[in-house]
């Protein structure tokens, strides 16, 4: 469960909670500018938000983790090079176009960084680009360069909320999580919301801290935090070309305890990962699979991912239909080809605390069926209704609760485990992705 | 392309074509009985069809390939044992309940086989069970035993069409393919239509031939035919617990040429595999990916499967939206983690004959965008319309054409290749699987 959040009754209540999370750590400012432009590839008006996250002065203490997709976006290509640079001064983030395999994409991104560098007074290699949106289109360089002065002029050091709002695409609401360690803090924002199966996802995450942790240690801690959080979620199994997590420390506050910092970062990442799933495209139910008793973590992760990625089970969850046959089938379709020697003889599976499988057979009856259906309904984020215009869209712009469809898979064959989060497969997902060029 | 079929203007035209394919090979009869029953697990009336495929006398020449799911259904468990038996005499097939991990499921299936054996006059081990439908429920043994005499009394040797109709669940129409070799024939029927990513799929395929091919050779030929057909399709990446392909020879006609038999069987399997995709749950577009120039077949298959299983690309196809960024991303999400050393520098990708990617960058412009959208529309099987009651269902019960969304992936890095078929991801798929207990 998330460490800090709870249920919300209205968008206003959620916004107030977000505002309470949003205080920037010392040494950071953010600014956003919005503008219209016309993409070359599809000549229709489009809107872009350009967000700058700037340190007061460049820092040597930064870390990043990127997608493993073989066609990384230009920002990922540049970001990998920037990891070798001595310092990070600012990040320039745009939504709408992801700048992936666009002709000249790297050069355009570098020129925009150069312009931003001039405006904030840092070196061009101290500026990181970050982009999300349509894959294949080219960035509107002229319009972005023209908007940069407004974004820089908007830089303020009080709240990260405007930046959290600036980086989103199809997200229904901004996502902010924070943690306190001694006198310092960690504050992080994320952009979801589709093409989410990390290693990482079309997921941009920016984590800012004023706690002084040296570069090498910061990178080690980030890798660990990502594995148990952003690499343990899947909305639709699509690993994006742009997934990026960037962590920067302004070093303004001494870190009292590196282990405590690691735990706090892990919690922030887990909370934010769950936020990303909960606001995944079309997600009406968050599915949490806890696999225990596995001989190794890889098998536990594989089983968990297979369940949250099984389209038929995801559809059943969407319909509040406790079709647990599809759940067990999803376990079997992973184990059969990928771990054929695994011992499943002591396998027990529960959903919502109700045992549905043990001793090699299903344990079902009409009373359990009712209890399972009630559990599914209780985890629903909103009710789906057929729309008049044929396009399903979620009728909410805040998370009403943080409940999940809870699945426990106990293998009884070891001591390794994994917790994997995913979402259901809904009409809202299809509407979003069949009708919307994101 | 299928060897024999074409476009159809009406269900009647398609039925007439099916009837023309349906003549049973010598030595086989089929019969079907339908009845209502009440499942124990969900006490609501349900309908089942019980189909018997019987040889005139048991044959030693039979072959089968099964799912690799770690939770195979009772019929798969029994079928694997039956492969060691000296002879196959009949197959008893039911829809509605798949008899997977149901308590006592193997024993129930064996008792039904025993009853069928008594009625057709063969030994109980000469009868194969086969089931498809809900996973986890138990077979209604009493109702099935009561219906068996009717199915056996209905046995006729003229047409396989009643059997093709008896084995389906959510299929929109029956599927039959045939081939002639010398004086003999191969006739095959299939049941789709969801949970289709073979190794194999909730896919039951029964292939009957009067051509005499000895058991060992028959098994070798079937394995080869399945690899390039049923193991090269994916509707939703869900590998079922029940996938089964059974091939039986009555041996009534001398086989003039085993190689010709192998080619004919391969064509029958390919045609039927394409039929299964074309009638996959909610499929509005069949997607055919031809991967060429790969260093090995595994990479070619991996890329093809990654494309047809990428939810975001599938949604874009459903919407006739040429969002080819998602297509390239799907290639990258496979190659990055699974074949990180693969050379993609000469990669070229075309859709509908239009080059969209080469030289490491997208090759897009508004004219191409129009051509790609037109290609997508031309491959659409029917237009989707928002339904009044909120449940999307395909407005067709026959295949209007056999066109595909044609994708070519040329790696330029070797001589291996693969052709993979899949479908789009539609509201009809979600409606079928969120609202229907299949």
Place of tokens 């009772």: B74
A101 vs B101, B330, B360: nearest CB = B360
- What pairs with residue A205 in β-bridges? A190, A245
What does the block give as tokens for B56?
């005139």
| φ/ψ (deg, to 5) at B334 | -85, -50
**Architecture of domain B286-435 in CATH?**
Roll (3.10)
Q: Average pLDDT for residues B84-108, to the nearest whole number?
A: 95
| Equal fold, A11-278 vs A286-435 | no
Beta-sheet strand order (sheet of B175-181): B62-66, B244-254, B204-212, B184-191, B175-181
Q: Is the pLDDT of residue A4 over 50?
A: no
Quick one: closest CA in A to B342, which residue? A70
Whole-complex ipTM: 0.86
| φ/ψ (deg, to 5) at A178 | -145, 160
What is the Cα–Cα distance from A376 to B227, expressed in whole angstroms?
39
Query: How many helices (H) and strands (E) are present in chain B, helices listed first?
Result: 12, 16
Is residue B299 within a helix (H) or strand (E), and if so which, with residue range? helix B297-308
Chain A residues whose CB is inside 8 A of the B328 CB are 71, 100-101, 135-136, 241
Judge whether B315 and A434 are in contact, CB under 8 Å.
yes
Place of tokens 């035919």: B225
Q: Per the CB < 8 Å rule, is B425 touching A430?
A: yes
Quick one: closest CA in B to A236, which residue? B311
Q: Per the CB < 8 Å rule, is A364 touching B309?
A: no
**Of B125 and A39, which is predicted with more confidence?**
B125
The maximal CA–CA distance of chain B, rounded, in angstroms, is: 69
pLDDT digits (tens, 9 = 90+) for A308-345: 999 989 999 999 999 898 899 899 989 988 898 899 99
Judge whether B202 and B167 are in contact, CB under 8 Å.
no
**Model confidence, pTM:** 0.89
pLDDT digits (tens, 9 = 90+) for A35-71: 999 988 777 899 999 999 999 999 999 999 998 888 8
Radius of gyration of chain B (CA): 22
Q: Which of B202, B209, B241, B426 is catalytic?
A: B202
Is residue A297 within a helix (H) or strand (E), and if so which, with residue range? helix A297-308
- Give residues with Cβ within 8 angstroms of A346, minimum separation 6: A293, A410, A411, A412, A413
Is residue A253 within a helix (H) or strand (E), and if so which, with residue range? strand A244-254
Ordered by start, the domain boundaries in chain A are: 11-278, 286-435
pLDDT digits (tens, 9 = 90+) for B265-286: 999 999 999 999 999 888 999 9
What is the Cα–Cα distance from B155 to B348, expressed in whole angstroms?
54
- Angle between the A324-338 and A297-308 helix axes, to the nearest 10 degrees? 140
Quote the mean pLDDT of chain A. 91
Radius of gyration of chain A (CA): 22
Chain A residues whose CB is inside 8 A of the B240 CB are 329, 333
What is the Cα–Cα distance from B4 to B19, expressed in whole angstroms?
13
Chain B residues whose CB is inside 8 A of the A40 CB are 365
Domain spanning A11-278: CATH 3.90.920.10 = no
Identify the CA nearest to A337 among candidates B300, B243, B67: B67
Q: Is the pLDDT of residue A191 over 80?
A: yes
Q: Average pLDDT for residues A177-193, to the nearest whole number?
A: 94
Q: Is the peptide bond before B193 cis (omega within 30 degrees of 0)?
A: yes
């Amino acid at each position: 469960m998330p460490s800090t959040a709870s249920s919300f009754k209205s968008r206003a209540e959620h916004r107030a909670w977000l505002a309470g999370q949003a205080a920037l750590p010392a040494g950071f400012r953010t600014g956003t500018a919005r503008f219209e432009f016309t993409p070359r590839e599809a000549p229709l008006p489009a809107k872009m938000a350009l967000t700058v996250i700037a340190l007061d002065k460049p820092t040597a203490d930064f870390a990043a983790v990127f997608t493993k997709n073989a066609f990384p976006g230009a920002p990922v290509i540049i970001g990998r090079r920037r990891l070798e640079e001595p310092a990070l001064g600012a990040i320039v983030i745009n939504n709408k176009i992801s700048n992936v395999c666009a002709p000249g994409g790297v050069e355009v991104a570098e020129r925009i960084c150069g312009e931003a560098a001039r405006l904030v007074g840092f070196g061009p290699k101290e500026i990181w680009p970050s982009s999300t949106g349509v894959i294949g289109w080219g960035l509107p360089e002229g319009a972005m360069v023209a908007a940069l002065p407004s974004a820089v002029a908007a830089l303020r050091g009080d709240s990260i909320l405007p930046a959290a709002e600036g980086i989103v695409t199809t997200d229904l609401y901004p996502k902010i999580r924070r943690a306190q360690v001694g006198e310092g803090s960690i504050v992080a924002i994320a952009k979801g919301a589709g093409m989410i199966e990390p290693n990482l996802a079309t997921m941009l995450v920016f984590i800012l801290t004023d706690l002084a942790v040296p570069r090498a240690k910061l990178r080690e801690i980030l890798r660990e935090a990502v594995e148990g959080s952003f690499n343990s979620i899947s909305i639709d199994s699509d690993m994006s070309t742009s997934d990026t997590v960037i962590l920067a420390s302004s070093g303004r506050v001494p870190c009292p305890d590196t282990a405590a910092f690691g735990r706090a970062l892990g919690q922030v990442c887990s909370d934010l990962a769950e936020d990303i799933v909960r606001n995944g495209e079309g997600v009406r139910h968050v599915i949490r699979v806890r696999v225990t008793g596995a001989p190794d973590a890889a098998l536990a992760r594989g089983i968990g991912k297979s369940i949250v990625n099984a389209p038929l089970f995801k559809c059943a969850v969407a319909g509040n239909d406790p079709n647990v046959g599809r759940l067990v089938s999803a376990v079997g379709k992973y184990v059969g080809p990928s771990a054929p020697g695994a011992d499943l003889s002591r396998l027990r599976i529960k959903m919502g605390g109700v045992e549905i499988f043990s001793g090699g057979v299903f344990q079902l009856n009409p009373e359990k069926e009712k209890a399972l259906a009630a559990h599914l309904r209780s985890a629903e984020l909103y009710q789906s209704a057929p729309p008049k215009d044929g396009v399903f869209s979620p009728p909410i712009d805040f998370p009403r609760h943080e409940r999940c469809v809870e699945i426990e898979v106990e293998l009884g064959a070891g001591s390794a485990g994994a917790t994997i989060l995913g979402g259901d497969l809904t009409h809202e997902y299809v509407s979003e992705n069949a009708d919307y060029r994101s």
